[in-house]
Amino acid sequence: MIVGFIGLGGMGQGVARRIMQGGHDLRVWNRSPGPAEALAAEGAEAVAGPAGALDADLCLSMLSQDEVIDQVLVASGALEKARPGLVHVNLSTVSVAFAERMEALHRERGLSYVSAPVLGRPDVAAAGQLNVLCAGAPEAVAKATPVLELFAKKVWPLGDRAARASVVKIACNFALASMIETLGEAGALVEGHDVPAADLYDVMTGTVFASPAYKIYSGLIADRAFEPAGFKLPLGLKDVRLALQAGETAATPLPIASLLRDAFIEAIAAGDSEKDWSALGAGAFRRAGRPLG
């Protein structure tokens, strides 16, 4: 199968390599040419523009936000040049409204749109262990699934409306951001009573919070390991804003999301915009007068 891939950031590169290792002919494009050239040296075909990647049986995209996807695929005219019958799989976290719009635009052009945002970090992508949330027309999902399984620990089917996968991903990231903030506040609390935060995190992750996410993010906070970023703070802020938008649309209040938005803005104002979103937890220490070094 000829597979296109658009967007070769830290996550995208790992996913693209897994697809190439699965034996597919891969056509890649990235806004900055370096990553595409690196994959070309490994056997992929670097194409001149996004339309080249859409000239495929299946195309996956992994771009940072709604506006970027719109610019690269729609405003550029690339989508108009897509191969007839193409299945486009969007791996990014996008707003519910944007997922609905993209699904309609593809349908109007005789194309298929599958929403398949992923849960995981770049190292998990490279290992082929992402959790993939997947929604779209059944025949399009069926065509995409064997490719998704090349980089997935599990593919989670969520129905025939693309927006269903988008809102589940937004809710997951909202819950993760809430966890990071809580870890920071809990750590700052115990350090105020002369207990190292790392000791608290050992207790938490060895008992009632013995899950991979708690272990990963408490370790990043305790070790001050905020760089290099696996997922930068501004992207976390974007996803919390998407949660607030989705909540407003469905008349669902999210008061914690409002607090998280302000905490993200505070962290960015403090100069942490290039750090991993786990640095959100450092804000709690800073507010308590015990900034992490």
pLDDT > 70: percent of the chain: 100
Pairing of strands 118-119, 130-134: antiparallel
Q: Do domains 2-160 and 166-287 have the same CATH topology?
A: no
pTM: 0.95
The two three-digit tokens of residue 180, written as one number: 């990071």
Q: Of 120, 102, 234, nearest to 176 (Cα)?
A: 120
| CA dihedral sign of residues 212, 216, 222, 223 | positive
143 in active site:
no
Domain boundaries, the chain: 2-160, 166-287
Domain range 166-287, CATH architecture: Orthogonal Bundle (1.10)
Reported as a single tens digit per residue, the pLDDT across 200-237 is 999 999 999 999 999 999 999 999 999 999 999 999 99
Q: Return d(Cα 3, Cα 6) in angstroms, integer.
A: 10
**Radius of gyration of the CA atoms of the chain, in A:** 20
Q: List all residues 6 or more positions away from 115 whose beta carbon is below 8 Å from its beta carbon.
A: 90, 94, 99, 103, 133, 134, 135, 136, 162, 163, 164, 165, 166
Task: pLDDT tens for the chain, 293 residues: list them.
Answer: 999 999 999 999 999 999 999 999 999 999 999 999 999 999 999 999 999 999 999 999 999 999 999 999 999 999 999 999 999 999 999 999 999 999 999 999 999 999 999 999 999 999 999 999 999 999 999 999 999 999 999 999 999 999 999 999 999 999 999 999 999 999 999 999 999 999 999 999 999 999 999 999 999 999 999 999 999 999 999 999 999 999 999 999 999 999 999 999 999 999 999 999 999 999 999 999 999 86
Distances (CA, A) of 149 to 116, 118, 132, 139: 12, 12, 9, 16
Please count the residues of the chain.
293
**Catalytic pick from 81, 154, 169, 215?**
169
Q: Return d(Cα 94, Cα 19) in angstroms, integer.
A: 23
Residue 258, exposed/middle/buried by CB under 10 A (0-12, 13-18, 19+)?
middle
Helix 233-249 to helix 96-108 angle (10° resolution) is 80
Question: For the domain 2-160, what is the CATH superfamily, name and number?
Answer: NAD(P)-binding Rossmann-like Domain (3.40.50.720)
Mean pLDDT of the residues in the chain: 97
